[in-house]
Amino acid sequence: MISALRIERTSTTPLVFWDNDASELLIDGICCPIDAHNFFTPVEDWLKENSEKLTQKTRFVFCLKFFNSSSAKAIFQFLKELKPIVAEKKIGNIYWVIEDNDDFMIDSHEDYQELLEMKIEVIERKEK
């Protein structure tokens, strides 16, 4: 059984929620904590703890409105942890939501794909 993970949304941090039924990890909201490394540590720990139990159905969804540069590096580190798991399990389901053709989110997606040499699917949305 994959352990539960739920970090509630705040004004500067996103909701982080593992939905066991959908086999989906959602990171949703604004991400600009002063210390993003500290914020993402429990998420990385959860990934390490549960990586063996993830399946091909598993999805990782990044739905971020905007994020600061400290978070940019923390997200990079998280994706780096995810990369061998994706390669080994062939889960291949990492999604990057881009609202309203947001130029910053488009550039960030390109950076991560290029630097990590991994496929990150884009989901385009209109802002709610």
Partner 1 sequence: MAPTSSLNYHGRLTDDLRANICDLLRQSLRDNLDGIKQISKLVLYALELLDNAQRYSTVNDVRFECEAKNGELTLSVINKASLEDANRLMETVNSLRNKSSDEINVIYKKSLSNNQFGSKGGAGLGFLQILRNGSNELNVHVEQLSGDIHLCKSVLVAKITINSELFPSSAI
Residues that bind partner 1 (CB under 8 A): 10-12, 30, 32-38, 66, 68-70, 72-74, 76-77, 80, 102-105, 107, 111, 114-115
Of residues 21 and 117, the one with the C-beta less far from partner 1: 117
Question: What ranges in 15-123 are assigned the alpha helix state H?
Answer: 36-50, 69-89, 103-116
Quote the least distance from Cβ 128 to partner 1, whole Å. Answer: 14
Residue 17, token pair as written in the block:
């929620």
Quote the least distance from Cβ 55 to partner 1, whole Å. Answer: 29
Q: How far is CA 78 from CA 14, 30, 37, 100, in A?
A: 15, 17, 10, 25
Nearest to 75, CA basis, from 98, 44, 102: 44
Of residues 19 and 104, the one with the C-beta less far from partner 1: 104
Quote the least distance from Cβ 2 to partner 1, whole Å. Answer: 26
Per-state percent for the chain, helix, strand, coil, to nearest 5: 40, 25, 30
Of residues 92 and 104, the one with the C-beta less far from partner 1: 104
The Cβ of residue 16 has, within 10 Å, a number of other Cβ atoms equal to 21
Of residues 54 and 86, the one with the C-beta less far from partner 1: 86
Residue 98, token pair as written in the block:
């881009």
